[in-house]
Amino acid sequence: MSNERILIVDDEPAWVTLVRVWLESAGYTNLESAGTGTEALSLAQNTPPDCILLDLVLPDQSGTEVCRKLRSLPALSRVPVVLLTAHKRERVMGLQSGADYFVGKSDKPHELLATLDAVFRRRQMEEGTLTQGDVTLKSASRQVWWKGSLVATLTPKMFVLLHVLVQHSPQPVSRGELYKLVEGMDDPGLSRALDVMLNRLRNALPADLSARVVNVKNFGYLFLNTSPALPSQPADQEH
């Protein structure tokens, strides 16, 4: 039995009932639901959930708008959001609004349950730090420390992305490997989604640190170590 609190946001009662059955069968018993974006925001602010399952289409506002509002609230900005959608273009929109994961609506529970498993595995990441040169990443708080100062607190997905790049530095990481490590599944060809994630990560970091996340042409990305031989380079420079 799991104590994680999950908020289901969807205006289709039959779908909500089905999802509840799936989740309860998997051991998730602390469940709550909302039929509108306004109700969801109110419930989430009263008692912050551990994860939000958010439908893209709601009667009062879009799921992406709800996601933007969640990310603007300090107490909810780091809550994992799983956007329920089936279209690739909508997934890119969801990334831009701050969603962390995507699950297509289906009559099978496997993808949803696997995604929730990945969400909570990352939340339970043991306390620890990763230091590479002048950069330190603190897993429990998802903090980025640079030259001895706290410079950013990242969302779960952005933190995993940076952690992978820093951990592999100075070696590059392929696009496919990055996507699989962050999403928990193979890249379905949605390369634009990875680019959006990288841009969000760069925007969350100071400019000089962001510039060390470098695109490796026709391969993937790498994180540059501090070194006299490797001066700071533009974030979009290709190697």
- Rounded to whole angstroms, how far apart are CA atoms 130 and 145? 10
Tell me, what DSSP letter sits at residue 226? P
Q: Give the dihedral sign, CA 131/134/139/140.
A: positive
Q: Walk along the chain (239 residues) in steps of 10 and give the mean pLDDT of each run.
A: 85 95 93 97 93 93 91 88 72 63 83 84 62 85 89 90 89 85 61 82 94 90 68 47
For the 129-223 domain, the top CATH level (class) is: mainly alpha
Whole-model pTM: value is: 0.55
Per DSSP, what are the bridge partners of residue 216? 220
Alpha helices by DSSP H, listed for the chain, are 13-25, 37-46, 63-72, 88-97, 110-123, 156-168, 175-183, 191-204, 207-210
pLDDT computed for residue 130 by the predictor: 82
Each domain of the chain, given as residue ranges in start order, spans 2-123, 129-223
Residue linked to tokens 């996601």: 67
Assigned CATH topology for domain 2-123:
Rossmann fold (3.40.50)
Question: What pLDDT shows up at residue 195?
Answer: 84
Confidence at residue 83, expressed as pLDDT on a 0 to 100 scale: 87
Q: Residues near 168 by Cβ (< 8 Å), separated by ≥ 6?
A: 222, 223
Domains 2-123 and 129-223 share a fold: no
